[in-house]
């Protein structure tokens, strides 16, 4: 009965999976870090137009999003197919924009307030009438920095 005798089972040794959790955790942390939670679910159709003279929008916390477009198919029965505006999580009218801008400004630190940009995510089939109304409201709310959010690509693709 010596101490060094346990050489009984022969055959291929099992592959150690002890480091599997480490690998998975590594991946987990990567995705945790790069994740940006979608803060609002889209209720409007949102196929953005193409443009190639674009600038990147960094600093996600300094952007106010205004969506516009036709209601998504599952809402069309209730709301029809007329293009609508979406602020945060719900449909809004033209008159709600100024209030929305005001609230967004209040929620930011004072020194950052004039750096706020409004990103217009407008579906490419929307009529310009609605977009100009939005722009007029933004002018009145003194939110003058705007960005027409687009996908990168040839602008001629919009015309088809």
Closer by beta carbon to other proteins, 23 or else 99 = 23
- Determine how β-strand 63-69 pairs with β-strand 84-87: antiparallel
Please state the closest distance from residue 153 (CB atom) to other proteins, in A: 10
| 28/62 Cα distance (integer angstroms) | 27
**End-to-end CA, the chain:** 86
Residue owning tokens 């630190």: 109
Phi, psi for 68 (deg, rounded to 5): -150, 150
Name 66's bridge partners.
Answer: 120
Query: x/- string (CB under 8 A) for other proteins, residues 28-57?
Result: x--xx-xxxxx----------xxxxxxxxx
Closer by beta carbon to other proteins, 78 or else 160 = 160
Q: CA distances (Å), 24 to each of 15, 34, 93, in order?
A: 17, 16, 46
Nearest CA to 90 among 81, 80, 79? 79
- Contacts (CB under 8 A) with other proteins, residues 64-103: none
Q: Does 20 bind other proteins (CB under 8 A)?
A: yes
Closer by beta carbon to other proteins, 9 or else 58 = 58
With CB under 8 A as the contact rule, the residue among 64, 97, 101, 122 that binds other proteins is: 122
Q: Give residues in contact with other proteins (CB under 8 A).
A: 17, 20-21, 24-25, 27-28, 31-32, 34-38, 49-58, 63, 117, 119, 122-129, 131-132, 135, 138-140, 142, 144-150, 152, 155-156, 158-159
């Amino acid at each position: 009965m010596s101490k060094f005798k346990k050489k009984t089972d022969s055959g291929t040794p099992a592959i150690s999976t002890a480091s599997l959790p480490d690998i998975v955790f590594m991946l987990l942390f990567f995705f945790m870090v790069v994740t940006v939670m979608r803060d609002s679910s889209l209720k409007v159709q949102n196929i953005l137009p193409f443009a190639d003279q674009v600038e990147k929008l960094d600093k996600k916390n300094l952007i106010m999003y205004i969506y516009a477009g036709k209601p998504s198919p599952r809402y069309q029965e209730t709301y029809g197919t007329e293009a609508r505006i979406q602020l945060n999580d719900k449909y809004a009218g033209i008159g709600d924009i100024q209030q929305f801008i005001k609230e967004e400004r209040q929620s930011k630190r004072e020194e950052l307030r004039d750096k706020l940009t409004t990103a217009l995510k407008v579906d490419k089939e929307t009529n310009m009438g609605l977009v100009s109304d939005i722009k007029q409201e933004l002018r009145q709310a003194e939110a003058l920095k705007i960005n027409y959010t687009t996908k990168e690509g040839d602008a001629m693709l919009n015309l088809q």
